[in-house]
Structure 1
Amino acid sequence: MTGDTQITAEDLRGLAARALAGNGMSEEDSARVADVLVLADLFGIRTHGVARIPQYLDRARLGGVDLHAKVAVDQVAPALSRVDGANGIGPLVGSHALDVALASARATGLGAAFVRGSNHFGPVMPYLFRAAEQGFAAIIASNATTTIAPWGGREARLGNNPLGIGVPMPGGDPVLLDIAMSVAARAKIRAAAAAGESIPDTWATDRDGKPTTDPAAALDGFLQPLGGHKGYGLSVMVDLFAGVLSGAGYLTRISSWSVDPERPQNLGHVFFLIDTAKLVPGAELASRMDDFAGILHTTPPADPAQPVRLPGEFELARYHRQLRDGVPVDDGVLARLSEFASAVR
């Protein structure tokens, strides 16, 4: 059984970039991908951090991802761009799309980038954070491999499509919401199965679409959308924007990386950016955000040990702590990254 090793964010970023470059990615592209994934680890989203690099590289060896992809941008209007990821590693594509939307938002106040030809781009929070650092509010979403049945259905047709919304706080931490569309992640169900524990019947259904407390039946079935039909509706709308409007795959037209790792997924993403300085001067926004946060923070808690928090506050506290003290990374992941980093291509 492996444990964790504390490593500085700078060292982890360098190791991750070398692991990618050692397998043929350019140094610039490797650095972009490493930045997104290390931010994920800093926020504590370890399932979507540097641990994904071996999966990305395994898919690349099978031809499912192009490590040499050249992301192409078609600016179709002053504030609107289409981005073709050319089947590149998702965080590389997402990083370029964020830059494109930021440039449009700086010029016009609003910027939108619709992305096709991508792959798993990590969690949404790193992109929201990078936008907020520069004073931009953002709405960012992606479609995903099918794991959710349409409301009332008994066959997976929808992805657990992540949606993020962020608003900057001049001089302080932004407010960041990063959610997927299921009540619980499959990773939690797998953990319950490994521990021999039952799960709440609101997490998933069996293969016949019936709610179940058996994690094995749940893994053979479908995730339940958060809020029932409302989560289903949100997942549909994310796919319409990220999939249909972008020109990417959608619903069952998306290839599964786990079933067919050698095939391009053609995932779609969408980035909407707003230059908040063009709406509210920085000092005024800081005052309004501080007042907003204060109203929520001073809410009497139902449990004194659990004070009211803003979305993303827990992850941002972990970000600051781990930036100072180091990031825990699984020893097995570090070993594989070191192996990749020492490769000569």
Structure 2
Amino acid sequence: MNKNKLNKIVRNIFIKHGLKTNHAKISSNYIVQAELVGAPSHGLARLKMYCNRIKKKLINPQPKIKIKHISKSISYIDANNAIGFVAADIGIKKAIDSAKKTGIGLVGIKNSGHYGLSSFYAEQAVKNKLTALCFTNAPPAIAPHGAKKSLFGTNPICFGTPSGSKIPFILDTSVSMINRGKIRVAARQGSSIPENVALDKFGKPTTNAKKALEGVQLPIASFRGSGLAWMVDILSGVITGGNHAGKVKDPFDDFSGPQNIGHLFIVMKPNIFVGNSYNKRIKKNIRTVKKLPKIKGIKEILFPGQSKYKRYINNLNKDISIPKNILRDLKELAS
């Protein structure tokens, strides 16, 4: 389906479910963008979930978002259970504005929800020639090191900075071996997941997506990944006033209340210390890495964000392929 046609359909679905027109536009743009960068687990596959939570009054379609200005550089946002895309979009724009004026912007957000790909927000900062760190927490999926029960989310860590070229340096990574969205997509399609990424509820390794959702996901780098998940839980949950320590509700399965996810955005001018030499320094840094001897089968050493950018450019003028089950969801939600 043509991306513009799809965007209009998704936008109208959100409007039908009560979102303000500008909020529906923000949300539909992010969902279609996820499809274009090759991340369908964060795109149309989640549309029905957002709409279900709106219907059950767990996402507020008409939020009264409050922004508290703590200083010229720091803001605190109560999103009033708005859809996560809108809360985060307001938050990153506020952080960008503060960073432009003072050199650094710090924004904490509470009472939000799932906001899609963290890279969306880092990219906005980079387009404004700024560096960004983005943190958000998620429902329990990873067991703390030494525990046999999941508690931490797959809590992504995202960093973005100008690369000195048109392609931004964007590292957006889950602290689990595989993001939960991919497991959900596999479960819906009846396909398997890779080995060594999850355990079933009995603690046995599994490639069955449904059993993985009932069990535990494995963190990257053993106890180190578990520690990073804990760090993000503190940054985006404890510090912001959002839910934490396993209290973030699963958006697909838990309808007992709003998610109250927290987000934390840190944005700064990359030249704040080194002045006009930043571009020269970052180009040299990337060039040095790319010139290293390559292992067999590798044509080019890529920096984070390059592959995603290539996928986006390749997909920009192509129709978006939509699985049959997602097409059924679209027709059902639009009717």
TM-score when scaled to structure 1?
Answer: 0.87
Q: Which of 237, 242, 252 is the matching residue for 1:248?
A: 242
Q: Is the contact made by 1:135 and 1:277 (CA closer than 8 Å) also made in structure 2?
A: no
Cα deviation, residue 25, structure 1 = 1.1
Q: Which has the higher strand share?
A: 1
Q: Which of 287, 291, 299 is the matching residue for 2:284?
A: 291
Residues 1:81 and 2:75 aligned together? yes
Cα deviation, residue 300, structure 1 = 2.8
Residue type of the partner of 1:147? A
Partner of 2:62: 68
Q: Is the contact made by 1:171 and 1:286 (CA closer than 8 Å) also made in structure 2?
A: no
Partner of 2:34: 40
Residues 1:235 and 2:216 aligned together? no
Structure 1 range deviating more: 299-308 or 171-180: 299-308
Partner of 1:314: 307
Cα deviation, residue 79, structure 1 = 0.9
Q: Is the contact made by 2:198 and 2:207 (CA closer than 8 Å) also made in structure 1?
A: no
Distance change (3 Å), C-alpha of 1:51 and 1:221: closer
Q: Which of 18, 25, 30 is the matching residue for 2:24?
A: 30
Q: Distance in 1 between matches of 2:101 and 2:130?
A: 12
Residues 1:135 and 2:161 aligned together? no
Q: Distance in 2 between matches of 1:136 and 1:319?
A: 21
Cα deviation, residue 34, structure 1 = 1.9
Structure 1 stretches lacking a partner, 5+ long: none
Residue type of the partner of 1:302? I
Distance change (3 Å), C-alpha of 1:188 and 1:20: closer
Q: Identity over aligned residues, as a percent?
A: 26
Q: Distance in 1 between matches of 2:191 and 2:308?
A: 29
Q: Is the contact made by 2:200 and 2:206 (CA closer than 8 Å) also made in structure 1?
A: no
**For residues 106-185 of structure 1, what are the structure 2 equivalents within 5 Å?**
106-185=100-179
The 3-state SS of whatever aligns with 1:296 is helix
Equivalent pairs, count? 333
Cα deviation, residue 152, structure 1 = 0.8
Cα deviation, residue 39, structure 1 = 2.1
Distance change (3 Å), C-alpha of 1:185 and 1:278: closer
User: Which structure 1 residue ranges, 4+ long, deviate > 6 Å from structure 2?
Assistant: 192-196
What do the CA deviations read for 1:135-160 (whole angstroms, capped 9, x no partner)? 11100010110011110101111111
Structure 2 stretches lacking a partner, 5+ long: none
Q: Is the contact made by 1:204 and 1:222 (CA closer than 8 Å) also made in structure 2?
A: yes
The 3-state SS of whatever aligns with 2:246 is helix
The 3-state SS of whatever aligns with 2:159 is strand
Q: Distance in 2 between matches of 1:276 and 1:47?
A: 32
What do the CA deviations read for 1:105-152 (whole angstroms, capped 9, x no partner)? 111110011111011111111111111111111000101100111101
Distance change (3 Å), C-alpha of 1:39 and 1:80: same
Residues 1:328 and 2:294 aligned together? no
Residue type of the partner of 1:13? N
Cα deviation, residue 42, structure 1 = 1.8
Cα deviation, residue 189, structure 1 = 5.2
